[in-house]
């Protein structure tokens, strides 16, 4: 089935494997997104090269050359808006966003974070999960609000933690789950099945509990 495609811009700072997963999903005619631009604050981000290989406009907006954070954000916002997106996906974008930035894209910007939020917001999530001794770890996709990694959750993928895991082995298992989770969560939002309303995620046409259970199996496969 061919569906109308919504325009999605991806922001990243690094290798871009989640962006790659979104691009692969979007190749399907029945997937409701087209990745129309990839923007990075790091000129040498691997994700820019990957986007270019896929024929997607890859735009570097480095922090250097801008007087302050506000000027840099204004340039990033201009690059985003030039692509006329319906939705913005953060995929390893390593900058804290200002309240104005978050407000401008409220309900139209989502992020993937490598933990089962609200556990372990911020950095080094895999080492912290191991130190805490959790038996389940995973990733979350959430609407972006000014509270870092604190916006309402759209979908989560869980993976088991093995006794002999290292931060790297756990990260690899979570990343595999992320590559399944992010395209799924983006589809929920673009299909109108997960909406941002008054600071919460409102679901329509799906049972979020069933959805959550379905996201466990692929994560551990
Ligand atoms: C992912 O673990 C994502 O959850 C986090 O940053 C990492 C980005 O990895 N926000 P990649 O650049 O998508 O490979």
Instruction: Indicate which CATH number applies to the domain containing 212.
Output: 3.40.50.170
Which of residues 105, 123, 156 is at a domain's end? 105
Q: Is the pLDDT of residue 1 over 90?
A: no
Q: What is the pTM of this model?
A: 0.97
Q: Give the pLDDT confidence of 67-93 residue by residue, as tens digits.
A: 999 999 999 999 999 999 999 999 999
Mutate to test the pocket of ligand 1, among 18, 38, 127 (most ligand atoms within 8 A of CB): 18
In the chain, the percentage of residues whose pLDDT exceeds 90 is: 91
pLDDT at position 217 is 63
Whether residue 178 has its Cβ less than 6 Å from ligand 1: yes
190 lies in which domain range?
Answer: 111-221
Q: pLDDT-based confidence at 218, cuts 50/70/90?
A: low
Ligand 1 within 6 A of CB of 20: no
In this structure, the residue with its CA closest to atom 12 of ligand 1 is 16
d(CA 51, CA 57): 7
Atom of ligand 1 nearest to the CA of 19: 13
Say if residue 132 is in the same domain as residue 39.
Answer: no
Query: Would you state the pLDDT for residue 208?
Result: 86
pLDDT value at position 221? 54
The reported pLDDT for the residue numbered 201 is 98
Any atom of ligand 1 within 6 Å of the Cβ of 45: no
Cα–Cα distance measured from residue 128 to residue 169, given in angstroms and rounded to the nearest whole number: 14
**pLDDT number for residue 215:** 83
Q: Which residues of 92-119 are buried (b: 16+ CB within 10 A; e: fewer)?
A: bbebebeeebbebbebebbbbbbbbbee
Q: Would you call 113 a catalytic residue per the annotation?
A: yes
């Amino acid at each position: 089935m061919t569906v109308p495609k919504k325009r999605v811009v991806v922001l990243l700072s690094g290798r871009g494997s989640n962006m790659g997963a979104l691009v692969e999903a979007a190749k399907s005619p029945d997937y409701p997104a087209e990745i129309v631009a990839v923007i990075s604050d790091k000129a040498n981000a691997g994700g820019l090269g990957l986007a270019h290989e896929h024929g997607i406009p890859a735009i570097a907006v480095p922090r250097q050359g801008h007087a302050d954070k506000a000027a840099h954000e204004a340039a990033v916002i201009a690059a985003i808006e030039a692509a006329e997106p319906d939705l913005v996906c953060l995929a390893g974008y390593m900058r804290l966003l200002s309240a104005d930035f978050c407000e401008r894209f409220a309900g139209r910007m989502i992020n993937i974070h490598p933990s089962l939020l609200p556990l372990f917001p911020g950095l080094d999530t895999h080492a912290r999960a191991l130190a805490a001794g959790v038996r389940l770890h995973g990733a979350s996709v959430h609407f972006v609000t000014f509270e870092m990694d604190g916006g309402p959750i759209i979908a989560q993928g869980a993976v088991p933690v093995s006794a002999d895991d290292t931060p790297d082995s756990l990260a690899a298992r979570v990343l595999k789950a992320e590559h399944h989770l992010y395209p799924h969560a983006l589809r929920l939002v673009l299909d109108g099945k997960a909406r941002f309303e008054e600071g919460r995620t409102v679901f329509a046409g799906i049972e979020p509990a069933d959805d959550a259970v379905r996201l466990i199996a692929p994560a551990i496969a």
